[in-house]
Amino acid sequence: MELKRVVVTGLGALTPIGNNVEAYWNALIAGKSGSAPITYFDAEKFKTKFACELKNFDALDFFDRKEARKLDRFAQYAIVASDEAIKDSGIELNGIDKHRVGVIWGAGIGGLETFQDEVINFATGDGTPRFNPFFIPKMIADIAPGNISIRHGFMGPNYTTVSACASAANAMFDALNYIRLGYGDIIVSGGSEAAVTKAGMGGFNAMHALSTRNESPETASRPFDATRDGFVLGEGAGALILEEYEHAKARGAKIYAEFVGGGLSSDAYHMTAPHPDGIGVIAVMKNCLQNAKMVPEDVDAINTHGTSTPLGDVAELKAISQVFGAHAKNININSTKSMTGHLLGAAGAIEAISSILSITHGIVPPTINHENPDSNIDPALNLTLNKAQKRDVNVVMSNTFGFGGHNACVLFKKFDE
């Protein structure tokens, strides 16, 4: 069968460097770091005392007090970002078939803060099981798309993908395929996460996954730098309105880019470490190119997973060199996690938005905080270091990889009728 074309018609972002798409993009281009000392709780006894928290976010600006109390922060973030994307798309909600509008969302963890707080309350009480009646519906990862659909009456496919840090990209690829196959006209897709909590910081510290650069939080996320020592935990959400092309055309929608393909693979190697030879990463990028019916030479830019971990950064760049060969040196490679930190299950969404806006504006955001070249990284690669670079971007790839060996890759191109 002939697959339908899928385009991006709306964007929404809630990030550590900007609480809407415009602010997020401007901060990316300026090379702004979102990392700072933790304010949500006293982190004095933690190995890592900083994170990429949202700034100046107040749930009561978006929800009444009663509604806000029923929502974990990860669900609040999902609703805020999706509301922005829906508004941006110009969709007339009363003029569409809501049975053909779905929500496919990504979250690596879900309501971690809700779970943490309820368990603490029980453990420090008298043993009587007094739990909040909203404990379970606040915690479960699928409640974010559930609430988005309830809010707008969307009655199409509705679920959450959970593949750790690949969750949002996984969700977007699923959404792409639903629309391609004719099962829906519009899918709200993306991801959200709110893991900057005592349990989140403590758990990742116990794994030795986080940077401990407490003396300089703003420079702690330093992908590809020889002195990198782990990622910086971030939070927030990204939302995309994915729409069947003819449906978008019929309503005169503005189109940011065409969503042309995606890929999935597994390392099948280790719970947390990447395969040293990058075999899963090589496979997912090849799968993505094949799915999009493109060749390596078509790609102009790659937003890497680039978390700032000693093993992961090198493995990914070696995989890029193997997949793209001599063309790799012509690609603008970057890691926006150097600014936003790592949003876990939401990473793929905000990084897809950055990738799409690179096409729109002809600018590739920088990889900031790079000071010391790593001898294990090919110096011929253009890692877009420290300053944004202007260039014509027609095709951009975005990579996300998760604990458990989950790999997801998505590909966008400049829209051409």
Give domain limits for the chain. Answer: 6-250, 263-413
Cut 0.85: pTM above it: yes
pLDDT band at 37 (very low <50, low <70, confident <90, very high): very high
What pLDDT digit, counting tens, does each position of 62-86 carry? 999 999 999 999 999 999 999 999 9
- The pLDDT-based confidence of 417 (bands split at 50, 70, 90) is confident
Q: What would the pLDDT profile of 392-414 be if each residue is shown by its tens digit?
A: 999 999 999 999 999 999 999 99
pLDDT category of residue 247 using cuts at 50, 70 and 90: very high
The pLDDT of residue 229 is 98
5-17, pLDDT tens digit by residue? 999 999 999 999 9
pLDDT digit string, tens, across residues 342-366: 999 999 999 999 999 999 999 999 9
Question: What digits encode the pLDDT tens for the residues 290-299?
Answer: 999 999 999 9
- Catalytic machinery residues: 165
The Cα 330–Cα 96 span in angstroms is 43
Cα–Cα distances in Å, from 40 out to 23, 54, 77, 198, 397? 22, 10, 16, 9, 34
Domains 6-250 and 263-413 share a fold: yes
Mean pLDDT, range 227-237, rounded to an integer: 98
Q: What is the pLDDT of residue 272?
A: 83
* Angle, vertex CA 338, rays to CA 46 and CA 226, nearest 5: 85
The pLDDT value given to residue 274: 84
Mean pLDDT for the stretch of residues 261-285: 92
The average confidence (pLDDT) of the chain is: 97
pLDDT surpassing 90 at residue 273? no
Cβ proximity of 121 and 115 under 8 Å:
no
Q: Is the pLDDT of residue 105 over 80?
A: yes
Fold of 6-250: Peroxisomal Thiolase; Chain A, domain 1 (3.40.47)
Task: Tell whether domain 263-413 is in CATH 3.40.50.1100.
Answer: no
pLDDT number for residue 41: 98
Burial class for 94, CB neighbours closer than 10 Å (0-12, 13-18, 19+): exposed
- The confidence score (pLDDT) of residue 163 equals 97
